[in-house]
């Protein structure tokens, strides 16, 4: 700490090994305008954290929850968090991309928010403004149609690195926004 002009400025001087987890509630990254979403920063090992959020704006909280009560296009973007305690910082959490959709008649893709591990099962689905799961949906991977028949879900029994990429769903001729699904190897999981 040092002072300048009567102000005390705290300068972090260390790093905690704890990496925060960023949790979305509800647990999907595509939402319609006007919907509510809460991002929660979870840090293992103690309490009394002050939180820093990205993106930083005048409404960024210093608490563990970042609440968006009525989403607008300005809320779209990458979010991450870190903790500060005793002049030490954690590293930044993995980021989560939030997409706010203005066209209420277009579907939204429900896909994993965080990277998935090779070998794990993954299910993708589509929802509407009323949060109802849609049937008769076409799924695309990197803009390539995956199946010629429509279905309610896309099930991948054991995800592999080749499944990584952009996904979207189509219902009644309308496309959802694209969503990136990241796949990490099992060895990355154990690091």
Domain end residue (candidates: 101, 133, 158): 101
Domain end residue (candidates: 51, 74, 101): 101
My answer on whether 59 and 83 are in the same domain is yes
List pLDDT tens digits, range 18-75: 889 999 998 888 998 999 999 999 998 777 888 999 987 667 778 899 999 999 989 9
Closest CA to 182 of 132, 120, 140, 101: 120
What is the helix (H) or strand (E) element at residue 38, kind and residue range? strand 37-42
List pLDDT tens digits, range 51-65: 999 987 667 778 899
My answer on whether 55 and 80 are in the same domain is yes
Both tokens assigned to 132: 């109802």
List pLDDT tens digits, range 120-140: 999 999 998 888 889 889 999
The total number of residues shown for the chain amounts to 191
Residues 23 and 98 sit within 8 Å (Cβ to Cβ): no
Could you give the CA distance from residue 81 to residue 65 in angstroms, rounded to a whole number? Answer: 10
Put simply, whether the predicted model's pTM sits higher than 0.85 gets the answer no
Could you give the CA distance from residue 94 to residue 79 in angstroms, rounded to a whole number? Answer: 9
Total count of domains within the chain:
2
pLDDT of residue 123: 93
pLDDT of residue 1: 41
Q: What is the domain-level CATH number for residue 66?
A: 2.60.40.10
In a domain, 3, yes or no: no
My answer on whether 61 and 77 are in the same domain is yes
My answer on whether 40 and 95 are in the same domain is yes
Residues in contact with 44: Cβ distance below 8 Å, sequence separation at least 6, in sequence order: 18
Q: How far is CA 128 from CA 1, 30, 103, 106, 188, in A?
A: 52, 11, 11, 7, 35
Task: Identify the three-state secondary structure at position 70.
Answer: coil
Domain end residue (candidates: 44, 69, 101): 101
Q: Which of 59-68, 110-119, 137-146 has the lowest mean pLDDT?
A: 59-68
Both tokens assigned to 170: 């189509």
pLDDT of residue 101: 86
């Amino acid at each position: 700490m040092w002072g300048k002009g009567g102000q005390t400025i705290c300068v972090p001087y260390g790093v905690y090994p704890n990496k925060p987890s960023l949790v979305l509630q509800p647990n999907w990254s595509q939402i319609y305008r006007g919907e509510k979403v809460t991002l929660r920063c979870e840090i293992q090992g103690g309490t009394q954290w002050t939180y820093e959020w990205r993106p930083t704006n005048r409404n960024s909280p210093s608490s563990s929850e970042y609440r968006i009560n009525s989403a607008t296009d300005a809320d779209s973007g990458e979010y991450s968090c870190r903790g500060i305690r005793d002049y030490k910082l954690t590293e930044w959490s993995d980021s989560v991309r939030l997409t706010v959709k203005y066209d209420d008649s277009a579907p939204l893709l429900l896909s994993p928010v965080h990277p998935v591990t090779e070998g794990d099962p993954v299910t993708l689905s589509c929802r509407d403004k009323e949060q109802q799961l849609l049937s008769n949906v076409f799924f695309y991977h990197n803009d390539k149609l995956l199946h010629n028949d429509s279905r309610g879900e896309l099930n991948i029994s054991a995800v592999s690195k080749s499944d990584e990429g952009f996904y979207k769903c189509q219902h009644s001729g309308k496309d959802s926004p694209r969503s990136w699904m990241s796949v990490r190897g099992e060895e990355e999981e154990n690091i």
